[in-house]
A and B are shown apart, each in its own frame.
Chain A
Amino acid sequence: MAYEQRKISFLGSVDANPETKPFWDACAEGRLVLPRCKDTGKFIWYPRAISPWTLGPVEWVEVSGKGTIYTFSVMRGTPPYCIAYVELAEGPRMMTNIVDCDLSTVTIGQAVQVKFVPAEGGPPLPFFAPA
């Protein structure tokens, strides 16, 4: 099954939630930056400017972009796409799509690497391809 990239749309604008600007700015530069709780040192997904562990402050830290597939589903359609949760090397599990591969070969536990894909209406967004 040859891979076909579907069109990706950003929702709203990067200004919709000013707190997430550091994340979008990094995406524009092709870097994956996540908030980390200053109290516990734990990385957070999805991005927000307050810690879901302590409601304390966060700092924005670049991560490796490496991870493994926690789970996935191939949505049938034209073209089909593979939605997934990827467990980042730094801990959190984030929703994404697996791209640039035969979708019938995707498996749980597979090593993946972030790849920024252009999105209409916003910065490129983090997708993941087999490492």
Chain B
Amino acid sequence: MSLKGKAYIAGAWEHPTRKATDKSIALLHAECAKGALDDAGLTKDDVDGYFCAGDAPGLGPLSMVDYMNLKCRHVDSTDVGGSSYQVAVGHALESIAHGRCSVALITLAGRPRSEGQATGTATRAGNPAQPELQFEYPYGPATANMYAMCATRHMHEYGTTSEQLAWIKVAASHHAQHNPHAMLRNVVTVEDVVSSPLVASPLHRLDCCVISDGGGALVVTSPEVAKSLKRPLVKVIGVGESPKHQMGGAVDLVYSAARWSGPPAWEMAGIKPSDIKYASIYDSFTITVLMQLEDLGFCEKGQGGKFVADGNLISGTGRLPFNTDGGGLCSNHPANRGGITKIIEAVRQLRGEAHPAVQVKNCDLAIAHGTGGSLGTRHCGSTVILERE
């Protein structure tokens, strides 16, 4: 049975906060849930499936379904970091198609900014029972230097330059200037990016995403429920998920799990990358975007640098408008997990509800791709392809 079109995204909402000193993580989740349900024209009592990931406090979904007083017949708390929410859309699609629920609520929220986490540069200890950790922690792996090692190798193999990576931030900043909630609203230049301080060579401060509090939520429903509502119809037509890791020591850092999560999504959707009008691409760092664009097939492997240069990702001028809300690079990376905001902006574009300055004309096909975990060690890629009906 093909799952294509068996579910719709009926509600999508991004929390406007970027610093939530006065709210708990649970409250942020619940506010996001309310926002997305209001957006859909549904209430909490319509929800019969709940999906969350590791950012939700408590044991899997249990604390949050209790806190929000939901009565569910299906729950799922698959945690693959920032890519969990694309995975959740895929799992919601399956669950709805198999009749296990008809209104699936997905929430994400967190407050790393208020909690003062040194998200990108600190080495985080963990449970030594995690089998790889004793062989990695002493060497100081942090988020930034893990992604940086991918960039070093990509530059070595393909001649990618810091200036080409900088174009990704430049494009995001062009979009963020129109988003009143974005943390970084100043338009930057390639020179600004490459002259910002190195954090972990070859990545500069402006190659990195923001650290923000906040969250978002989605309501995924059956076709019957979606068609009973008053919102534009955004259909889920392709999904894929796949983890990539160290492969027993055969580490290869020039490609991401998108190489594996993309093909099943394209196949289910029955379209190709050149059909896509708008792309939400996970942007923890500039290099993340570049590698995923290659691995999803928007250009040949190794040609990502040329593809992103000269404003090709800027809405209105470039061939592939990306992250028109400003993305994680400029707007929001709530809970250090940017997957859900990628889907939310894709929904806005397909509904024609993006900011007029960045709205893509006749936007009928969009992709939202997530990467969660660490590109330098082990991560998951997850792909969602959406169509306006």
Over the window 7-22 of chain A, the binary record of Cβ atoms lying under 8 Å from chain B Cβ atoms (1 yes, 0 no) is 0111111001100100
Over the window 52-88 of chain A, the binary record of Cβ atoms lying under 8 Å from chain B Cβ atoms (1 yes, 0 no) is 1100000000000000001111111100010111000
Query: B250 contacts which chain A residues (CB < 8 A)?
Result: 92-93
How far in angstroms is the closest Cβ of chain B from A89? 13
Q: Are B153 and A44 in contact (CB under 8 A)?
A: no
Query: B126 contacts which chain A residues (CB < 8 A)?
Result: 11
Evaluate whether A48 and B201 lie within 8 angstroms (CB atoms) in the complex, with A73-B145, A93-B250 already known.
Answer: no
How far in angstroms is the closest Cβ of chain B from A79? 11
Q: Are A11 and B137 in contact (CB under 8 A)?
A: yes
Q: Are B153 and A71 in contact (CB under 8 A)?
A: yes
How far in angstroms is the closest Cβ of chain A from B159? 13
Query: A71 contacts which chain B residues (CB < 8 A)?
Result: 149-150, 152-153, 156, 253
Alpha-carbon gap, A45 to B250, bound state (A): 8
Is B225's beta carbon under 8 Å from chain A?
A: no
Query: A8 contacts which chain B residues (CB < 8 A)?
Result: 138
Q: Are A11 and B144 in contact (CB under 8 A)?
A: no
Evaluate whether A10 and B149 lie within 8 angstroms (CB atoms) in the complex, with A16-B129, A53-B248 already known.
Answer: no
Q: Are B199 and A76 in contact (CB under 8 A)?
A: yes
Is B128's beta carbon under 8 Å from chain A?
A: yes
How many contacts A-B (CB < 8 Å)? 117
Is B132's beta carbon under 8 Å from chain A?
A: yes
Nearest residue, chain B, Cβ from A10: B138
Q: Which of A48, A53, A83 is within 8 Å of B145, CB to CB?
A: A83
Q: Are A76 and B253 in contact (CB under 8 A)?
A: no
Evaluate whether A46 and B131 lie within 8 angstroms (CB atoms) in the complex, with A53-B248, A81-B140, A125-B138 already known.
Answer: yes
How far in angstroms is the closest Cβ of chain B from A36? 11
Is A96's beta carbon under 8 Å from chain B?
A: yes
Alpha-carbon gap, A9 to B139, bound state (A): 9
Evaluate whether A72 and B138 lie within 8 angstroms (CB atoms) in the complex, with A11-B133, A17-B129, A85-B253 already known.
Answer: no
Nearest residue, chain B, Cβ from A121: B138
Q: Are A95 and B152 in contact (CB under 8 A)?
A: no
Is B136's beta carbon under 8 Å from chain A?
A: yes
B residues 96-148 touching A (CB-CB < 8 Å) = 121, 125-129, 131-142, 144-145, 148
Q: Which of B134, B197, B377 is within 8 Å of A11, CB to CB?
A: B134
Evaluate whether A119 and B249 lie within 8 angstroms (CB atoms) in the complex, with A13-B128, A17-B129, A77-B121 already known.
Answer: no
Q: Which of A44, A73, A77, A83 is within 8 Å of B249, CB to CB?
A: A44
Query: A85 contacts which chain B residues (CB < 8 A)?
Result: 149, 251, 253
Q: Are B153 and A12 in contact (CB under 8 A)?
A: no
Q: Are B128 and A12 in contact (CB under 8 A)?
A: yes
Q: Are B149 and A47 in contact (CB under 8 A)?
A: no
Alpha-carbon gap, A96 to B153, bound state (A): 16
Alpha-carbon gap, A9 to B125, bound state (A): 10
Evaluate whether A72 and B140 lie within 8 angstroms (CB atoms) in the complex, with A17-B129, A91-B249 already known.
Answer: no
Alpha-carbon gap, A70 to B249, bound state (A): 12
Is A97's beta carbon under 8 Å from chain B?
A: yes
How far in angstroms is the closest Cβ of chain B from A49? 10
Evaluate whether A83 and B128 lie within 8 angstroms (CB atoms) in the complex, with A45-B249, A73-B145 already known.
Answer: no
Q: Which of B134, B138, B200, B253 is within 8 Å of A75, CB to CB?
A: B200
How far in angstroms is the closest Cβ of chain A from B127? 8
Residues of A whose CB lies within 8 Å of any CB of B are: 6, 8-13, 16-17, 20, 42-48, 51-53, 70-77, 81, 83-85, 91-97, 108, 119, 125
Cross-chain pairs A/B with CB under 8 angstroms, 29 sampled: A8-B138, A9-B138, A11-B126, A12-B127, A13-B128, A17-B128, A20-B134, A44-B248, A46-B246, A47-B135, A48-B131, A70-B253, A71-B152, A74-B198, A75-B199, A75-B200, A76-B200, A76-B201, A81-B140, A83-B141, A83-B145, A85-B149, A92-B251, A93-B251, A94-B249, A97-B139, A108-B152, A108-B153, A119-B138
